Structure 1
Amino acid sequence: MKKKFLVIASSCLVLFGLVGYNKQLVEGPVFAKDKIITKYKYDRSDEKKAAKIEADNSKKEKHIQSLDKKIASLRKQLKKYSGAHAVESVSQAKLANLTYSGQNVITVNNNDPEFSKSDLSTSQGAWQRYGNLDNQNRVTAANALLNQSLMPTSKREPLHVNPTGWHNKRIASGWIYNRCHLIGYQLTGQNNNLKNLMTGTRQLNDPDMLRYENEVADYIKESSKNYVRYRVTPIFRGSELLARGIEMEGQSISSNRVHFNVYIFNVQDGIKLNYTDGTSRIG
């Protein structure tokens, strides 16, 4: 009886073991579940380079457009100077009798300034001299030996004196007249000096006179050793109070970097000027 019980017990153990084994075979082994996270890193360096190139191209395009506008403006100004009529060895009286025919600036004496050897001496250093007003209170010639030492260090104050022929009025494009310095403020710092001011059109003052003033200023700014002999003479016809134009002469010392003798007409496009008294009308 005892043996029979042991046989039954052993059989039961074997049976339960087989059942567990079969269950393991069916369900498979049990492993711990691991969470797998995959990270991707994208290389966007090409995109960044492309964006930078696009931004640079945009800046360059704007710069080119700005340059195109400047070139167009300069070409417009250049038309006034190119093909200028050459006037050789004329006197101031003959300049006064010239008739304006659309060319703002003409050369005088083959563009050679008429300075003597003594005029070009630097032995006295830089200087400036302004002629007395004539018997009609008209401005006369202004002379200077220009150098950095004469250039102003303070901001220019507003002008308030009125030269002869001053009958200013505003039109659609702005004021007709400027109080024109014979020797520009940037060169000597002279401002409300009646001996250095004349009634001149905006066209005469800027760009015509300013072109030559800037040429001189740029040269003397380069070195404290640079000098320019300079003369500006207003040209009146008879007893008229408004100048017909101005003669500008410039000569750099010890070089030919600055060298000009020109006559600039005192005119304003679209305006009829009465040179007798300076009054004007559109026409």
Structure 2
Amino acid sequence: MEIVEIPQKPLHFMLERQLVLAPLDILGRARDAHIQLRDAFEPLVERKHLDYHPPGYQHIFLKNKMSNGKSYNDYLWTRGHLVGHQFSGLDNEPRNLVTQTVWCNSGSYFETDESNVDSMIFYESRLDKWINTFPELYLDYQVTPIYHGNELVPREIRLAYVAYSPKSQILPLILGSNREKLNEEGVTIVIIPNSSPNAVINYETGFAKQK
């Protein structure tokens, strides 16, 4: 089956904020979101309620077990930003939203777990802290959903990030995840599965059942 993804490559360094969103494909799927910024360019706009439904998004409740052994039902899917709001300032932008499991997005079934390396929040929170710690440096951050054929929901999310000095020198950026791989250009690549331990997912439609 054909793997559908946009090639990974940093944006040309221009000493300014850049945000590039690939156009939706024929199925209405978001394909790539890419930003280059430093601390002073982070947006200050408030986060808005999301009402856009990306392809494959459904209201599916599954049973989850808490640490005390009790069970409860909660949503499987969320509308996940490719480039997070803290960097992009975007909310209901179809080119920046995909159907994502809550687990992939926030690292847990019902709460945020920033220590889960299989989640977007692990990398987003650390990149945000890095920008704040090194305000003179630039972050190049590309997020690409990986689809199989015509499936509506991506099976994986690829993250690619690297730092730039004001003189355009590439500086490798490592956040401490065992999923990180450094390529020949000095860019860190991470592949996150868009899955959930409690679900069997049909990526073609977004339907899922209890595991």
Q: Secondary structure at the match of 1:212?
A: helix
Percent of aligned positions with the same letter in both sequences?
26
C-alpha displacement of 1:150: 3.5
Which of the pair has more CA radius of gyration? 1
Q: Distance in 2 between matches of 1:163 and 1:114?
A: 23
Where structure 2 has 5 or more consecutive residues not aligned to the other structure, the ranges are: 65-73, 108-118, 166-170, 175-186
Encode CA deviations 1:227-280: one digit per residue, 9 max, x unaligned. 111100100100111111111000011333445201111111121111111011
Q: Secondary structure at the match of 2:141?
A: strand
**Structure whose residues are more often helix by fraction:** 1
Change (3 A) 1:188 1:94: closer
Q: Distance in 2 between matches of 1:160 and 1:176?
A: 17
Q: Secondary structure at the match of 1:140?
A: coil
**Residue of structure 2 aligned with 1:166, choices 57, 70, 74:** 57
Q: Which residue of 2 aligns with 1:210?
A: 121
Encode CA deviations 1:22-76: one digit per residue, 9 max, x unaligned. xxxxxxxxxxxxxxxxxxxxxxxxxxxxxxxxxxxxxxxxxxxxxxxxxxxxxxx
Q: Secondary structure at the match of 1:172?
A: strand
Matching of residues 83-94 of structure 1 within 5 Å = 93=3
Pairing 1:198–2:98 present: yes
Q: Distance in 1 between matches of 2:204 and 2:9?
A: 31
Q: Which residue of 1 aligns with 2:151?
A: 240
Q: Secondary structure at the match of 2:3?
A: helix
CA contact (8 A) 2:43 2:87 kept: yes
Where structure 1 has 5 or more consecutive residues not aligned to the other structure, the ranges are: 1-91, 96-112
C-alpha displacement of 1:157: 1.3
Q: Which residue of 2 aligns with 1:49?
A: none
CA contact (8 A) 1:235 1:246 kept: yes
C-alpha displacement of 1:188: 1.7
Aligned residues: 172
Structure of higher RCO (CA pairs closer than 8 Å, 6+ residues apart): 2
CA contact (8 A) 1:120 1:253 kept: no
**Residue of structure 1 aligned with 2:28, choices 137, 141, 147:** 137
Pairing 1:256–2:172 present: yes
Q: Secondary structure at the match of 1:204?
A: helix
**Structure whose residues are more often strand by fraction:** 2
CA contact (8 A) 2:141 2:162 kept: yes
Change (3 A) 1:271 1:194: same
CA contact (8 A) 1:142 1:231 kept: yes
Name the aligned partner's letter for residue 9 of structure 2: F
C-alpha displacement of 1:120: 4.9
